[in-house]
Amino acid sequence: MSGVIKVLLADDHVVVRAGTRQLIERHPDITVVGEASNGQEAVQLAADLRPDVIVMDVRMPGMGGIEATRRIKETHPDMAVLVLTAHDDDEYVFALLQAGANGYLLKTVEADELVKGIRTVMSGQLVLTPTVAGKVVSQFTSGKTLPDVLSNIEQDYGGLTQREMDILRRVGQGLTNKEIGRTLFISDRTVQAHLSNIFSKLDVNSRTEAVMHAVRQGWITVGS
């Protein structure tokens, strides 16, 4: 690998972006060419700046990392997307792999591991944090192929993950975020983050619009 690796950072926390930039730019073969605070900005900056590697968070306001990764890989398949997140939930891991992510690291990694990850995906190889690698291996050793695994995570519901559909169905039942969180054993903030991703994927602006879209598509029935 020759030349300097151009990196785009996508994370909604300014402090995280600043810290990540400082860590990786200590290495002369890596430079940060831009920063995005959400998925939509990441998609636009990917087109404008043409980075080699995009370090992508999962949960961001508006468009999240899953949809941003999907759109970037559709238009720029040669760009490498390295996920850097605090979350290793199955729904995120497999949805991002399906979207085309080249690597998945947790924010608990050491600085050297992150730098190594950037260089690894730049060279065309896949890099996974051990817990994520374990999830993938366990699925394969259970006799499932990757399409089988992914089909259980993301159905043909406009790009919504199974968890997002679970939440949308409960919205259709009239449940509040707190009530949805209790039934799914997740926090209110996690429910809201999923709703933000749902709105982005379905191109709607409210719970009502999301439910009506799902009803028109035949995915759910109100009150079901």
Question: Is pLDDT at 219 greater than 70 in this prediction?
Answer: yes
* Residue 116 within any structural domain of the chain: yes
For the segment 48-102, what is each residue's pLDDT rounded down to a tens digit? 999 999 999 998 888 889 889 989 998 999 999 999 998 877 778 888 888 889 9
Considering only CA atoms, which of 174, 142, 145, 172 is closest in space to residue 157? Answer: 172
Same domain, 113 and 196: no
Same domain, 19 and 87: yes
Q: Which residue has better confidence, 223 or 115?
A: 115
Burial class (CB in 10 A: 0-12, 13-18, 19+), 126: middle
* Residue 90 within any structural domain of the chain: yes
Please give the pLDDT value at position 92.
81
Which amino acid does the sequence have at 86? Answer: A
The CATH number given to whatever domain includes residue 191 is: 1.10.10.10
Same domain, 37 and 116: yes
Percent of the chain with pLDDT over 90: 47
Last residue of a domain, one of 137, 163, 187: 137
Same domain, 117 and 205: no
Same domain, 127 and 195: no
Question: Is pLDDT at 168 greater than 70 in this prediction?
Answer: yes
Same domain, 192 and 89: no
Question: Is pLDDT at 187 greater than 50 in this prediction?
Answer: yes
Same domain, 34 and 114: yes
Please give the pLDDT value at position 148.
52
Same domain, 161 and 60: no
Same domain, 133 and 159: no
* Residue 119 within any structural domain of the chain: yes
Task: Measure the CA–CA gap between 71 and 103, rounded to whole angstroms.
Answer: 16
Considering only CA atoms, which of 69, 62, 89 is closest in space to residue 192? Answer: 62
For the segment 15-54, what is each residue's pLDDT rounded down to a tens digit? 999 999 999 999 999 999 999 999 999 999 999 999 999 9
* Residue 22 within any structural domain of the chain: yes
Same domain, 130 and 162: no
Range of the domain at 67: 5-137
Last residue of a domain, one of 137, 166, 200: 137
Radius of gyration over alpha carbons of the chain, in Å?
Answer: 18
Give the SS3 label for residue 101.
coil
Average confidence (pLDDT) over 179-191:
88
